[in-house]
Amino acid sequence: MNARRLELVCPAGTPAALRAAIDAGADSVYCGFRDRTNARNYPGLNFDFAELVEGVAYAHARGRKVLVAINTFPPAGDLAPWRRAVDQAAEARVDAVILADIGVLAYATAAHPQLRRHLSVQASAANAPSIHYYRDHFDVRRVVLPRVLSIDELRALIAEAGVETEVFAFGSVGPMSEGRCFLSSYFCGVSPTSEGACAPAERVSYLERDGRVHSRLGEVTLNTFSPGEPAAYPTPCKGRYLTHGRATYLFEEPVALNALGILAELAEAGVTALKIEGRQRSRAYVTEVVGTFRRALDALQGETPAGAEPQQLRREGEGGRETLGAYRRGWR
């Protein structure tokens, strides 16, 4: 079967992960600077300018691309770090910047008109007028679509969008209010959209008590896991809350999106690129997930005989379970 070629966009939290992603078959790698200008601001993660320059050289030498996420929202009166990040990305000759805030978009458009701009999922543009606004005002060439659309909705939106589209194919899923979720800030006092970390590691702790793991965010226990039960990050949207005396997942369950089984449908719907989530994960994860998707995409192109089994990546995902999320809205 020869389907439309899908670009494989892969995460890199470190230069080693960037090289691992390229070596495993990524077409593009996205990364961020070591500060709050991107949505994965965790200790020891991300790139400084010199590392980014080296990463770009490594990718370009192999015909691949590097995209830089500068996708958080500057607080009032504090645009300087975001401007600096855009300037440094341009100076490092990256292939595109992934932006969300309209002020940052306006700055990038004015200061670096030749620098390709993608719209981050954090901007939460999920309808044609919204996408057209970013396209017409900031010459956005690609939009990363929020994880709220079914395949049919994707197909319809892509027909109207007038720009390239990138959709999530693997990784953690949120409560379907991308870029607009402040749940974590109620627990930590830190805004995930301007500080770049939902459930920042500084506020997360795990306790072992009576054979159970208790995961805590700030002073709040968000979940407990019995021995052997698959664990999850203590993000508020995936907490287990007591309602009517029963502990249950109210917003979202700890599951991982895995679109390996519907790649042909996504290609047919007109998607340009597939995004793998997980800049906070290690290079071993990057190698495993990117390699599996590369094999599946090559098989889809008819370049290799067999693709990957959809369940092959189950162990990599949060909670040890998978979902097709909104792509198959059986629950709607």
Partner 1 sequence: MRPSRAISRLPEGIATTEDRQDGATPLALLKILGIAMPRPAAAFAAKRLFESLGRGHPQLLANLAALEEREVHVLPAELPYGFALRTGPRPQLRVIGRGEGQADAAVEASAAVLTDLIEGRIDSDTLFFRRDLQVTGNTAAIVGLRNALDRETIRLGAEIAAALGPLGPLARRLAHSIEPALGRWELRARTLQRALSPPLRTSDPALTAEVERCRAEVAALTARLGRIEARQQRREERAP
Binding site for partner 1 (CB under 8 A): 13-17, 42-45, 200-202, 204-208, 213, 225-232, 247-249, 253, 280-285, 288, 312, 315-321, 331
Smallest distance from partner 1 to CB 253, Å: 5
Q: What's the CA gap between 312 and 180, in Å, rounded?
A: 32
What residues pair up with 216 in beta bridges, in sequence order?
A: 205, 221
Smallest distance from partner 1 to CB 176, Å: 14
What residues pair up with 31 in beta bridges, in sequence order?
A: 68
Instruction: Tell me which residue of 168, 329, 331, 149 sits closest to 258, measured CA to CA.
Output: 168
Smallest distance from partner 1 to CB 171, Å: 11
**Looking at beta carbons only, is 78 or 202 nearer to partner 1?**
202
Q: What's the CA gap between 275 and 146, in Å, rounded?
A: 11
Smallest distance from partner 1 to CB 257, Å: 15
Q: What's the CA gap between 293 and 300, in Å, rounded?
A: 10
Smallest distance from partner 1 to CB 331, Å: 7
Residue 155 · residue 270 · CB < 8 Å: yes
**81 DSSP assignment:** H
**Looking at beta carbons only, is 255 or 263 nearer to partner 1?**
255
Amino acid at 248: T
Smallest distance from partner 1 to CB 47, Å: 10
- The helix/strand/coil state of 241 is strand
Instruction: Tell me which residue of 268, 320, 270, 316 sits closest to 293, measured CA to CA.
Output: 316
Name every residue whose Cβ is closer than 8 Å to that of residue 242 and which is 6 or more positions away in sequence: none
**Looking at beta carbons only, is 221 or 312 nearer to partner 1?**
312
How many CA atoms within 13 Å lie on the side-chain side of 299?
A: 16
**Looking at beta carbons only, is 136 or 202 nearer to partner 1?**
202
**Looking at beta carbons only, is 84 or 321 nearer to partner 1?**
321
**Looking at beta carbons only, is 45 or 89 nearer to partner 1?**
45
